[in-house]
């Protein structure tokens, strides 16, 4: 199977060979680090190790993509935040920010030459050189709203939305500029998919009206700027904002297990087009709406359940009509590789391949 073409056709709404099984979120797990010698935190800073770990679950478990980087602190660091790079079991975190207001946020002209951005760009080149057109390369970036939260502090961000909404609008306008500069640099190295992660826009943190008025416009601008396949990931119970997520312009929307796939597809008016594979009929959606990506639990199923339980959840998601099979969020570093293998095997069993 042509893995890259299969994914891109699915995201573009064309009839594809089979439901792809990928991850648009972080893929670094300790077991893969041990097998490849590409450990955190070094793999956050070294392009060779980043590329090796980013493709490790393709090599070791059959996951149908390579995905880098492994955190959402790359842009904030390049803008001047201090980052704790963590351990082999903990992802990087912002440890200090120099920003106290939106007016402090300034995107330097050499932004894409700072911090780890050059490492990510070089790792994409290495993955492209190694896999060519056989494997889709996915790069994750931080959305403008979440990046504003990294710079100002998430608590301040949520508080300012109520008492200083103009401050948030200014901050997001500035971080959108940074996102666009980063995307422009990525376009030069030609990843196949860009995943914009906006975890701070989860309904558990802001209400749907705030999402519509204060987050959605910047995501629309960013979507229009990205000239390749693109995915939007938002954590949590995103059922209340599914329609808004799908109307922004991204080819796929990545959702967690809290979202009911059947209800989401009904809400988006999906259905209509079907494919028959391995004796099964599979709804693949129709029209120009975003494809639904997900939503195998990372906190429970892929992290601590048995392979048999993984397969059962995968088959339920396929029955519900998920367009692209994937973990619901970033993989926990101690997730076992056998559970990722089980996810791929379950997809193969479902379609008789």
- For the stretch 182-197, pLDDT in tens is 999 999 999 999 999 9
3 state DSSP class of 298: coil
Residue in this structure with the two tokens 């939305």, named with its chain if needed: 161
Domain ranges of the chain: 23-269
The fraction of the chain above a pLDDT of 70, given in percent, is 95
Residue 53: which pLDDT band, with cuts at 50, 70 and 90? very high
Asked whether the beta carbons of 231 and 189 are under 8 A apart, the reply is no
- In this prediction, residue 162 carries a pLDDT of 86
Tokens of residue 108, six digits: 């330097």
Q: How far is CA 80 from the centre of its chain?
A: 24
Crossing angle (nearest 10°) for helices 154-163 and 144-152: 100
> In 82-211, where does DSSP find H-type helix?
117-131, 144-152, 154-163, 165-189, 208-210
Task: Give the pLDDT score at 173.
Answer: 96
Cis bond leading into 327, ω under 30°?
no
Contact 188, 220 (CB under 8 A): no
Per residue in 302-331, pLDDT tens? 999 999 999 999 999 999 999 999 999 999
Print burial letters for 293-306: b (CB count within 10 Å at least 16), e (below 16): bbbbbbeebbbebe
| Residues 6 or more apart in contact with residue 92 via CB below 8 angstroms | 41, 44, 70, 71, 73, 83, 84, 85, 86
- CA pair distance 274, 255, nearest whole angstrom: 22
Burial 258-278 (b: 16+ CB within 10 A, else e): bbbbeebbeebebeeeeeeee
The pTM of this model reads 0.93
Between the CA of residue 168 and those of 18, 100, 225, 278, what are the distances in Å?
A: 42, 12, 21, 51
The CATH classification of domain 23-269, taken from the options 3.40.50.720, 3.20.20.210, 3.40.50.20, 1.10.630.10: 3.20.20.210
Q: Give the integer Cα–Cα distance in Å for 113 and 111.
A: 5
Tokens representing residue 53 in the block: 């770990």
pLDDT by residue (tens digit) across 137-158? 999 999 999 999 999 999 899 8
The predicted structure's pLDDT at residue 161: 87
Confidence (pLDDT) at 272: 41
Work out the average pLDDT over 38-46: 98
Cα distance between the two ends of the chain = 10
Angle between helices 154-163 and 165-189 (to 10 degrees): 130
């Amino acid at each position: 199977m042509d893995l890259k073409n299969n994914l891109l056709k699915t995201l573009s709404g064309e009839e594809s060979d089979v439901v792809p099984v990928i991850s648009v979120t972080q893929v670094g797990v300790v077991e893969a680090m041990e097998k490849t010698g590409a450990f955190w935190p070094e793999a956050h800073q070294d392009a060779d190790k980043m590329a090796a770990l980013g493709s490790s679950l393709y090599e070791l478990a059959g996951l149908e993509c390579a995905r880098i980087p492994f955190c959402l602190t790359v842009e904030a660091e390049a803008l001047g935040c201090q980052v704790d790079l963590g351990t082999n079991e903990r992802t990087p975190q912002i440890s200090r920010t120099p920003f106290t207001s939106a007016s402090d946020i300034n995107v330097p002209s050499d932004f894409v030459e700072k911090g780890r951005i050059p490492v990510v760009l070089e790792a994409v080149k290495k993955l492209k050189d190694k896999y060519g057109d056989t494997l889709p390369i996915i790069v994750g970036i931080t959305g403008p709203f979440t990046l504003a939260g990294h710079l100002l502090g998430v608590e301040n961000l949520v508080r300012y939305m109520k008492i200083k909404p103009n401050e948030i609008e200014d901050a997001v306008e500035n971080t959108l500029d940074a996102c666009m500069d980063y995307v422009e640099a990525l376009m030069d190295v030609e990843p196949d998919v860009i995943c914009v992660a906006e975890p701070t826009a989860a309904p558990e943190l802001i209400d749907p009206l705030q999402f519509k008025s204060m987050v959605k416009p910047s995501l629309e601008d960013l979507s229009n700027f990205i000239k390749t396949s693109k995915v939007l990931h938002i954590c949590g119970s995103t059922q209340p904002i599914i329609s808004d997520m799908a109307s922004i312009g991204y080819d796929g929307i990545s959702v967690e297990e809290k979202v009911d796939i059947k209800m989401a597809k009904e809400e988006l008016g999906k259905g209509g087009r079907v494919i028959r594979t391995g004796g099964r009929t599979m709804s693949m959606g129709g029209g120009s709406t975003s494809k639904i990506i997900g939503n195998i639990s990372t906190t429970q199923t892929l992290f601590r359940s048995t392979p048999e339980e993984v397969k059962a959840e995968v088959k339920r998601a396929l029955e519900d009509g998920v367009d692209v099979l994937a973990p619901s969020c970033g993989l926990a570093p101690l997730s076992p590789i056998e559970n990722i293998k089980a996810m791929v095997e379950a997809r193969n069993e479902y379609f008789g391949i």
